[in-house]
Structure 1
């Protein structure tokens, strides 16, 4: 099969022919119809996660089962499926209680094993982790759920328990941030979106953000002024020391902060304003995806049209374009999700780029 692969941490990704995967016991092989290009994939490429080289990234996916391994009871070849980016073992107390997203023996495509930037991907513990994709939901929309959308949904509905009329501040308007804006509005919240990219803020406003703020000095004070003392809920959808601090400091007393963006310990562990957390009795919550057991309720809302994850997809590219975009994804201006379709034909001419491999597509340098 064709796959995006890199041989060294921060090495240049390229598309190569590699061996087809084999269904593991209890697992399946899925023919990938759509897979998302996510900042988490960049973290793996940059060396912020433990991976085995050479490596194929990709963890947000949807497709059709092509092979079923021994011991699988619920699924057959031809089923339309997606999967959370955290795949539980199916045996431990957390998996048995429906909390596979914190399974201590979890597998993660694109991290613990080769992922979905390929024509096929192997998935483990299929009876625990696979989610049926209704015929009314497209593969690209289903793939967008696996990491960013499902994580935002659980962060707001399950962890922060947002209620109607509350103020929610979303720091970062990339794929997960825009998902949070859409979901918060669907829950009846009033939303403030923050980003460094005016184009991303325009999309956030179109999705229902009541106010938009350019990232920079003064975000907490601006939020306090707009909300009469700070938001009820804050989401860091980026994952940096600055964005985490801005989110926490934008809260009112006894507010709830949800950390979604990964915080890599580049210069030691990031500093967090814990004095504010203690003094104002703030809740600090993590959100690590969503178990397959919780997908049906979210999928039903999508089928009813209340949530429309497909609106967050900015464009679709092939594997070759994705290989060029991955190394620079942390700096790319973002205004939605990029989907990869492995079936798109190989470009007749190489994807344009500079000496560092930055793709130039439709005149937008490195844009998702």
Structure 2
């Protein structure tokens, strides 16, 4: 099959002919119809999140089941599916308790093994990890759900406990940040979006953000958010992942507010100086959010089906596999236009539904 491969960190990935993935006994092989290009893939390519080399990236994908292992009982060849970016082992206490997203034996296509920048990808523990796609949800839309959108949904609903008329601050308006803006608006919240890029702030306004903050021009972003929200956000999300955005997210909260860390903090950025004096004095909550387990997808998909959530509006470009490497490398630079990029590995003329 054709797959995008890089042999060293930071070297431009290229399309190569590689062996088809073997089907796990408890898993499936999925023919990839669409896969998102995510900053997490960029972190791995840059060596911030080490992977075994050579490597095929990609972890936000949707497609059709092409092969089924003998220990799989719930899925058949031809089923339309998507998959969380964290796949639980299906055997531990965390998986049994519904928390596959923190499974200590998790697999992650695109990180622990070859990913979805390919015509096919293998998934373990299929009965636990696969999500059936409604016929009304196309593959490109579904590819936007697996990491950024599902992560934002669970961050706001499970951790942020965001409700109507509360203030939500979103720091960083890339894929997960714009997802958080859309979801927050759909939940009836009032949203302040923070970013250094004008087009990203404009896109956040298009999605319903009530106010925006130019982090490149405002000296004290947290103070500005507190001013705009009349005392601070009820919920704040660091959707970028940097010491400045993490600290700013905590500092912009009102008393009893909730900070949710979604953006990855890796390497030297892994231990930002969070203002724990404010956390104690204002009884703030600090949460990490690491995706969403497959069994939690139906509530989100129901809102996609009825049009309450429109993740398709977050897609900026749809490209073929030959351009996936350059799309990943382009994340070295600040985005000039907002919107995620989706790759269609299916050859020209193949199924696109």
Residue of 310, 313, 316 corresponding to 1:314: 316
Q: Is the 8 A contact 2:195 2:214 kept in 1?
A: yes
- In the TM superposition, residue 254 of structure 1 has moved relative to its aligned partner by 1.5
Partner of 1:150: 150
Q: Is the 8 A contact 1:39 1:330 kept in 2?
A: no
- In the TM superposition, residue 307 of structure 1 has moved relative to its aligned partner by 0.6
SS in 2 for 1:266: helix
Partner of 2:222: 220
**Could you report, residue by residue, the CA deviation over 1:180-220 in whole angstroms, capped at 9, with x for unpaired residues?**
00101111100000111111111111111000111132211
Q: Is the 8 A contact 2:246 2:272 kept in 1?
A: no
**Runs of at least 5 residues in structure 2 that lack an aligned partner in the other structure:** none
SS in 2 for 1:329: helix
**Runs of at least 5 residues in structure 1 that lack an aligned partner in the other structure:** 347-368
TM-score where L is the length of structure 1:
0.91
Partner of 1:336: 339
**Could you report, residue by residue, the CA deviation over 1:213-257 in whole angstroms, capped at 9, with x for unpaired residues?**
111322111111111111111000000001111111111111100
Deviation >4 Å, runs of 4+: none
Over the aligned positions, Cα root-mean-square deviation in angstroms equals: 1.4
Deviates more, 1:175-184 or 1:330-339: 330-339
Deviates more, 1:290-299 or 1:217-226: 217-226
Residues 289-368 of structure 1: matches in 2 within 5 Å? Answer: 289-333=291-335, 334-343=337-346, 345=348
Partner of 2:198: 198
- In the TM superposition, residue 272 of structure 1 has moved relative to its aligned partner by 2.1
Partner of 1:264: 266
TM-score where L is the length of structure 2:
0.95
Structure 1 residues 128 and 267: CA distance shift in structure 2, 3 A:
closer
SS in 2 for 1:128: helix
Partner of 1:250: 252
Aligned residue-pair number:
346
Q: Is the 8 A contact 1:317 1:344 kept in 2?
A: no
- In the TM superposition, residue 325 of structure 1 has moved relative to its aligned partner by 2.3
Structure-1 separation of matches of 2:141 and 2:247: 32
